[in-house]
Structure formats: C-alpha cells, structure tokens
Structure 1
C-alpha cells in the first residue's frame, strides 16, 4: 500500500502547479499541462513493460528499479535546468505508476482470501487517493518554498519508500517471463503520444492544419500497426505480446477496460477544472482568486470520498453489486461535473463537486479489479490489471489535455478563458462521464457468467481461462498445434471441470 500510494503522490505533484509553472517558465497553459500529461503517458507505456518483466522471479529488481527511476526523475525536476528537463523528470516519475499492477499481483499471491477483495480494492484507488494527498502537500510546499522544493519533497518520499520496499518486498514467482516486446512498446508510445500531442496543440496549430492532420494520421497508423503486431503473436507461440489484446477483449473484461478509459478522462477533466477555477482571478468571471495552497486542499475531499467509495466497493463487489457500483460511480462523476458547472463561482460548490466525484472514483475504480478477476486466471492477473491501468492512465492524459484544449477553443480573441468557456468545458466533462456510465451499464448486462465464459474458450492455449505453462521451442509448437486440432486432453479437461465447480460453489 505504501509503494502504490507514494508513487501516486509523486505523480500527482504537477497538477496544482500548472498555472504557476506556466508563469515561471514562460510557456502557455496548454504547454505547461504536459507536466501532468507526460507522467500518465509514461505510466501507460511502461506499465506493460514492467508488468512483463516483473511477472517472474524478476519482480523484486523491477520494482526497485522503477522506484529508483522515480527518485532520479524527482531530482531532475527539482534542479533548475529549465522546462525541458522538468518534463523529462516528470516522464521518469511516471514509471512509479507502473508499480501499482505489480502491487496488485503481490496482494493476490500473499494476502489471505478473506482480506483479498478489500486490499485489492484499496490498491486500485491509490492512484486517485494518492492524488488527494499529493495535491495539498505540493501546494503547501510550493506556496512557501517554490516549485523545486515540491519535487525535492517527492524525492524524499520516494527514497523512504524505496528503503522500505527493499526490506519487505518478497521475491516473485518461479515462472520465467517471456521476451519483452520492445517494438510493441515503441508503437504504443508513438501512437498514444501523438494523439495526445495533436489533441493538446490542435488549437495552436489549427484543427485542419497539415501538422495536426499529419500527427493524427501518423498516430492512427502507429496504433493500427501496434494492433496488428500484437495480434500476430498468435502465430509465434514462443513469444509474448506487450499486451494480450485477446484477454483484454474477453467478455467480462472488455467492459471494465472501456469504462476505465472513458471514466479516467472524465475524472481528470473534473480535477483540472477545479484546480483552474480556484486559482483563476475573480475578474475572469469564473475564478475564485485563491492561491495554490487552497487549490491543493480542494483535493482532500476528493481523496477522502475516494477511500470511502473504495471501502464500499470492497464489501459489495459481488457479481451484480460490482457491476452496479461501476455504473453508479461513473454517474457520480457526471453529477460532480454538473455541480461544478452550476456553482463553480462558490468555494463550497467546488468542494461539493470534488466530494461527489471522489465518491464516484472510489466506487468505479475499486470495483474494476474484482469484476475482471472473475474471468482472468491467476497467472494472467498481472497482464489484465496492467492493461486496465494503461487505459486509466491514457484516460487521465486525454482528460488533462482535452479540457485545456476546450478552454483554449472557447476563450475570447485574446486567449483569455471566459465563464461561458469554463461552463462549456464542465458540460463536456458531464458528457464524457455519462458515456462512461452508459458503457458500464451495457457491460454489466452483456457479461456472461464465469462458467459460461470458460466453456466458450475450449482450447487452453487460445487464451482460455485455464492457465498452462509456457514451453518455448519447436516441439512445444507442434504440441500446441496438436492440442488445437484434437481439443483438450484428459488432464486439461479435468482441470477445467474443477475450475467450473469452484466458480459454481456458493
């Protein structure tokens, strides 16, 4: 829990500092927003890499190496070298977000079954709850000692976490991880990064300019190439993809994954709007004129409500109640954004919006792991959770970039954000969160029972729910082809029957 919470705190340090960094570094608000966007983009790309490397006996060195990279990133951002090195340091800090899926995998291995749902639900919302703790800490430090001091504080927190984890973290499993899919990581980074860049710079470059359209086209081509490359791993049984797309698209898993992407976008649209509204001058028509400390404290109700929502989800994530909590959480996101659009000119209105949104965050994100693990074997938990985290981080990045773009487009001729433009951005957040709620409702109704999903995948090696060991080499390849032709053998059939009985047992 300390490992996941501390990295989330460090990753969230940039959010309340965006207006101040834009003023000190002489960059636009959209440019300064990359202090936050690049962290989540880095986390999205490195999560499957670290998840693959840490799926075997290398879990301990991978976690320690990731925390060490976060420490280096904090130092690089703290040293006054300019805006470019600060962005690079924030990218290194994003590696800490990739540690959370590994923490969930450790919890599934070592936590007793009676406490496992609550512990996993708590780990699932650490990214959100940690932001609620990191914002006030960073804001208070920046208000008194400057931006560099906030990142030095993050370095101290990371160093303490690294020391504690080095003492208590157990070793990984004996299973050997597959080969790292470096080309897949490059294609995914290029595609997602290009889309976010085009989204954040569309108004500056022009929505129909050659640069914007070129970046969009290149990003789409990179993502298409990544999809084809990933699905092509079925023809290479001795290698493993960066992300198992067939596992991610399985019934019962695709719904929470799609909801994570859209809900993450809506959540960070709400957070960014509150931070901007609290710090904007009163003369703007929508701002409250408070300092960065008050803006950071605004995240405390969000964090507290997230923890309360996660505890509720940890107690009620059965088959039906978990699906309902996911939809209710997304609906609360929409309600929070609607409250912000209506009463953003009052401090209590911003507090109420963050409280409602935080409760929705805790309910939705804490319910996702338990809903997905009904259809995922223990050996694939790390991969499934890693892809869900990727979609969350991509949603966070898209939300932070999208809301600034909307504000930029809705500003007046001089580039100043108006009250009507702020309301437009808030209503866009309502729309995004409402789409997430619709997706959650649809996924809850369309999901089959775990036993039905198991029987619908008869061949173990074709991404079935029954895990089988990895045997590289030509003889294993022939064995796999023979299994596909003849169906499962007696031992595999017996194991599948035992799994079905365990799922049906009350």
Structure 2
C-alpha cells in the first residue's frame, strides 16, 4: 500500500469505525439488566444491590457526558475518544476478574464512560464526512445506539447461560479492545485550537446530587429513617448548590437557562420521566421472564430468553422513529412527546394485566418500544427547532443527562418497590410486580400529561405570534 492510498482507505473505514464505536459501547453498557439476578446469586448480594451494575452505568454517563463533550469538543477530541475506549476496556476486564462485587461496580462505572462517546462520534462524522454522505452517516449512528443495546442484551444472556457472568465481560473487553485498535488507526485528529474551561465543580455537585438521590431511593428500605433522610437532604443540598453554581457561571457545564427555554422544557421533562418509566418496564420484564415459575410470578425461561425480550423493544423503537415522519402530517410535532409517553403508559398497563404470560411481556415491550421511538425521536427535533444553532450541542447534552438520570432512577426505583413488598424471608412477591408496574404507569401518565400541557402551550404561543 502506498502513502497516497492510506488516507483514502482511512476515509472509507471512517464510518464503519464510528458505527463500531457507537454499537460496541452500547453493547458493553447493556451488560447489566439480564445479568442482575445471576450476579446477585454469584456475589451473594441482594437484588437491589446487584441492580447497581446497571444503575451506576447510566449514572456515570449522566455525570460524565457534559465533561466528555466539553473536553472532546476541540483539539483533544481524538485522545478523549481513545481514553474513553481504554476506560471501557479496563472496566470490562475489572468486572470479568474474580475480584468481588465492588470490582464489578467499579468496572461498570468505567463502562459507563462509553455511553458519552457517541456524541463525539457524531461530531467526527459531521466535520469529516463528505457533505453528501453526512446526513445518512449521522442518522446511522443515532440508530446504532438503540440497535447496539438490542444486540447486547441477548448476546450477553446467551454467553452468561453457557459460560458464566465473567465470560460476558471478557467478551465486552475484547469488543472494546477491537474498537480501540480501529479508532487508533482510523479516527483523525482535530486541528482546532479552541479551548473552553471545564467546570469540574459543577460536575462534582451534579454527581453528588444524582448519586445521593439514587442511593436514597434504592436503599431506603434497608436504612434507618435518619440515614435515609440524611442522604436525601445531602442530595437536595448538592442539587441546590449545583443550580446556584451553574447559574452564576458564564460558561457552565450545562446551560440551565437554555434547558428551560420555551419549547425545550417539554423535551427535557419528558426525557427524565419517560426514561424512568422505560427502564422500570425493561427491568420488570427481564426479571419476570427468567424468574422460576415456583416463585408465583416468574415465567421460568432461560436468561437467554430474558435477553431476547429487548429485541422486539429495539425493533419497535426503530419503527416508532420512522412512524413519527408520517405522524407529522397528521399531528403537530409537539404532540409526539405525549403520544410516546401514552404508549409507555399502555405498555405498563399491559404488563400489569398480562405479566403471567410470555406473549403479554412481548406485547408490552413492543408497545413500549413504539413509545420509545416516538418520544425520543421527537426530543432532538424540538430542541433543534427552539435552540440557536450555536447552542444546540449544549441543549442536547442536558437532554441526554436527563435521559440517563431517568434510566438510572427507573432501574433503582423498580427494585426498591419490589423489595419493599417482599415477604418476610426477602423473596419477591407477585404483589410487588403489580405495584411496580402501576407505579411505572403513573410515571408515564404524568409524563404524558405534562408533555401535553407543555405542547399545547407551545402551540398556543406560536398561534398568537402568527396572529
């Protein structure tokens, strides 16, 4: 190969490498939900404690995404991507080694870094790809994240069933290592010299507030009232301090004024609540399908079948995304958020009523997937519509933070409800699943109502301005 052909080969390999980056980090991050019951059993911890292998990954992504976006927005983009992939690989190795449950949690923290790299991959495609290929490339990367999670769940479940939990994380380490090698060879540097200050204080306050809230939700039933109240109050203080600190800075980690702008607020509120309801649904289905039938609530299927439950959800999400284009001709774009949340509500009600059968779980996942595709596809469109071009990145970053916080809260909340309704021996009960499903319905219902109210206010304002 001559020196002249090397740049051409790198250019042709760029999109496949970016797709590999987005899909592999999503696959590794998804090595959580189907593995939770097995990890609880092997590590000798409670189900709510084991659930942190999923919760902490999304929490890490929520806290670190704005930092990664800030650091990777200029000339450090390539080293940030490479260091992020190295962290994912190291995290998978830590989780695979027999070092105890603490090492698994630390490993999952490092794996959460990978979820913050997809926006940087999109930024590379936007700046480097040829103009005629750019829209298709960005669209492909956006869909790849959902498809990667859909592939990761059944893949991880199959490996765990036949080779154990550590084998799943070794496979994740291999995939992350392969992606790192490809990124080193293909992803170009960024010649820009632009530098922006990094708000480390804001990141610490945001992480403390979010982590304390999730910890108090997931462990409230295990703590005394004073401890739970203390952690909750400390979390509240951290949130208040973060808001005051953010509003006082000229270049904050997250622009809260922009996040609460008319039209953008609905997308952000929905991201938090819909994300919470979505992961409550996913967590319940995964637990129900693989729990033994003798429990009175379980369906007694293998962990592989439990992982396959995410396939109809992912496919329906892609379908829901495409369906929104047709709905544009029938309803106002602002109404897509409440429509998506209403589908989440229907999905959780289906699960509450027909959780005793596999087809009921599949139907709930399909409806929930349609709601996911509809709601989450509408969010960036609304943000772009109501945000100046120069501020779109910041607005999207905050929406992604709320989405990940919603995922974290949902995965923690459903286990807290299930263990609160456990029997005296600590075993989960059918009543707990019913209550959890109805709680998820309530969250989705509130999201739908708020989305509708905010959408109607936007429509009314636009009509008034037009008049």
TM-score norm. by structure 2 comes to 0.90
Q: What residue in structure 1 maps to residue 231 of structure 2?
A: 215
How many angstroms apart in 2 are the aligned matches of 1:115 and 1:265? Answer: 35
TM alignment of 1:28-427, pairs within 5 A: 28-109=46-127, 120=138, 123-124=141-142, 126-172=144-190, 174=192, 176-206=194-224, 209-234=225-250, 240-313=251-324, 321-427=332-438
- CA 1:122–1:268 in 2, change beyond 3 Å: closer, same or farther? farther
How many angstroms apart in 2 are the aligned matches of 1:367 and 1:110? Answer: 26
TM alignment of 1:484-503, pairs within 5 A: none
Q: CA deviation at 1:393?
A: 0.6
How many angstroms apart in 2 are the aligned matches of 1:173 and 1:388? Answer: 28
- 3-state DSSP class of the match of 1:351? helix
Q: CA deviation at 1:442?
A: 2.2
Q: What residue in structure 1 maps to residue 31 of structure 2?
A: 13
Q: What residue in structure 1 maps to residue 15 of structure 2?
A: none
- CA 1:380–1:115 in 2, change beyond 3 Å: closer, same or farther? farther
Deviating more after overlay: 240-249 vs 106-115:
106-115
Q: CA deviation at 1:83?
A: 0.5
Stretches of structure 2 lacking an aligned partner (at least 5 in a row): 1-18
Q: Deviations over 1:1-53 (max 9, x none)?
A: 33222211110111100001001000000100000011000101100000111
- CA 1:249–1:177 in 2, change beyond 3 Å: closer, same or farther? farther
- 3-state DSSP class of the match of 2:402? helix
Stretches of structure 1 lacking an aligned partner (at least 5 in a row): 235-239, 456-503
Q: Name the Cα RMSD after superposition.
A: 2.5
Deviating more after overlay: 117-126 vs 87-96:
117-126
- CA 1:149–1:321 in 2, change beyond 3 Å: closer, same or farther? farther
- CA 1:170–1:366 in 2, change beyond 3 Å: closer, same or farther? farther
Q: Deviations over 1:417-469 (max 9, x none)?
A: 2112211111111111111112222232223799999x9xxxxxxxxxxxxxx
How many angstroms apart in 2 are the aligned matches of 1:244 and 1:319? Answer: 33
The answer (yes or no) to whether the contact 1:374–1:450 under 8 Å persists in 2 is no
How many angstroms apart in 1 are the aligned matches of 2:269 and 2:52? Answer: 24
The answer (yes or no) to whether the contact 1:319–1:371 under 8 Å persists in 2 is no
- CA 1:120–1:321 in 2, change beyond 3 Å: closer, same or farther? farther
Q: Deviations over 1:146-172 (max 9, x none)?
A: 111101111122122223333443444
- CA 1:388–1:362 in 2, change beyond 3 Å: closer, same or farther? same
How many angstroms apart in 1 are the aligned matches of 2:459 and 2:247? Answer: 24
- 3-state DSSP class of the match of 1:81? coil
**Aligned counterpart for 2:439 among listed residues 428, 438, 454:** 428
How many angstroms apart in 2 are the aligned matches of 1:120 and 1:436? Answer: 28
Q: What number of residue pairs does the alignment pair up?
A: 448
